[in-house]
Amino acid sequence: MKTNQQQSKLLNTKKVRIKKFGLNIRYAEMGNSQNPTILLLHGVPENLHTWYDVAPALSKDYHVLAIDWPGFGGSEAFSNLKDHNPRSFAAMGMDFLETLQIDFAHIMATDIGLSPALIMGVENPNSIGRIIVMDGIPFPTTAYSSWEVKSFGRKNSLRAKALIKWFPKISAQIAYKKGFYKSNNIPKEVQNEFLADGYNKTTQNAFLSYFQNNASGQAYLESRIHEIQQPVLVVWGRHDRFINVKLGELLANNLSNARLKIIEDSGHFVQMDRPDRLLEHTTKFLKEIEQEHRTVNI
């Protein structure tokens, strides 16, 4: 029997208590666990449902895991707000993989997930494979950031509190208007999930704390970025109005084994704006491993 009701784009989720930090973390899992694992790390103002198009497509060939960062979505927050920072998030990501007994994983990360992903790579070269990062801020600089992003990082910023704590619906409207190349195409049920998080005090505190405790983690990454040996694919939306594409170029130039792909018809939210282009570049990047293995075995 046919139905006109559109299937929900929300990912099926579950929770696990990670061993070292003792936090309950919400995650989605798709694909055959015997396939190579890829961990998906979201940005703001989002949660793991931001991968609604990307995760199902990747799950055809990969074991896909998508998590909510501590304090976001359905994940428990750190008890100390200062722990919402890139280095703690990186350690939490590794704790999650180890709890699920994942010995090796590739990573795809966007926005606030970018720095933790690269820190996971530099600190765990034998456990983290290829890394795909998008539209984030790896270094302690505001030169490439919009006024909104600059506000988030300022201590006691009234603008930041207004955007995150006082008027989350207006903040979401700004994000979606500026974050897409032409227009917001987020499915309604996913948008409702994001907005519910926007009104959640735990998420608000984690959001603001991350940005205000961001600089030390960025400085740490900047000091060690030359050590990253994994191949890195840097993907950026040409029309990112929150973080200028020039920062993507700078990041790629500072990595020893990186390539840059600029999506011409995309804004900040590449994974939602142009998932087709992101998947095209990602699939090619990851498939190179199989080609390399074939070359070695010939």
Q: Is 254 inside any structural domain?
A: yes
Window from 156-160, 173-177, 291-295 with minimum mean pLDDT: 291-295
Q: What is the pLDDT of residues 11-31, one digit of tens each?
A: 999 999 999 999 999 999 999
Output the DSSP codes for the chain. Answer: ----SPPP-PPPEEEEE-TTT--EEEEEEES-TTSPEEEEE--TT--GGGGTTHHHHHTTTSEEEEEPPTTSTTSPPPSSGGG-SHHHHHHHHHHHHHHTT---EEEEEEGGGHHHHHHHHHH-TTTEEEEEEES---SS--TTB-HHHHHHHSTT-HHHHIIIII-HHHHHHHHHHHHSSSS----HHHHHHHHHHHH-HHHHHHHHHHHHT-HHHHHHHHHHGGG--S-EEEEEETT-SSB-HHHHHHHHHHSTTEEEEEETT--S-HHHH-HHHHHHHHHHHHHHHHHHHHHHH-
Q: Is 186 inside any structural domain?
A: yes
pLDDT at residue 147 greater than cutoff 90? yes
Q: Is 122 inside any structural domain?
A: yes
Instruction: Please give the average per-residue pLDDT across 192-200, as a whole number.
Output: 97
Window from 10-14, 159-163, 291-295 with minimum mean pLDDT: 291-295
Q: Is 5 inside any structural domain?
A: no
Domain count, the chain: 1
CB 11 within 8 A of CB 28: yes
- Give the model's confidence band at 292: pLDDT under 50 very low, under 70 low, under 90 confident, else very high: low
Q: Is 121 inside any structural domain?
A: yes
- Give the model's confidence band at 293: pLDDT under 50 very low, under 70 low, under 90 confident, else very high: very low
Q: Is 293 inside any structural domain?
A: yes
The pLDDT > 70 percentage for the chain reads 95
- Give the model's confidence band at 289: pLDDT under 50 very low, under 70 low, under 90 confident, else very high: confident
pLDDT at residue 156 greater than cutoff 90? no
Q: Is 114 inside any structural domain?
A: yes
**Interatomic CA distance for residues 244 and 231, integer angstroms:** 23
Window from 53-67, 82-96, 150-164 with minimum mean pLDDT: 150-164
- Give the model's confidence band at 67: pLDDT under 50 very low, under 70 low, under 90 confident, else very high: very high
pLDDT at 59: 98
Name the residue range of residue 221's domain.
13-297
pLDDT at 13: 98
pLDDT at residue 1 greater than cutoff 80? no
Q: Is 2 inside any structural domain?
A: no
Report the CATH number that the domain containing residue 43 is assigned in CATH: 3.40.50.1820
Q: What is the pLDDT of residues 213-236, one digit of tens each?
A: 999 999 999 999 999 999 999 999
Q: Would the pTM of this model clear 0.75, i.e. be above it?
A: yes
pLDDT at 297: 41
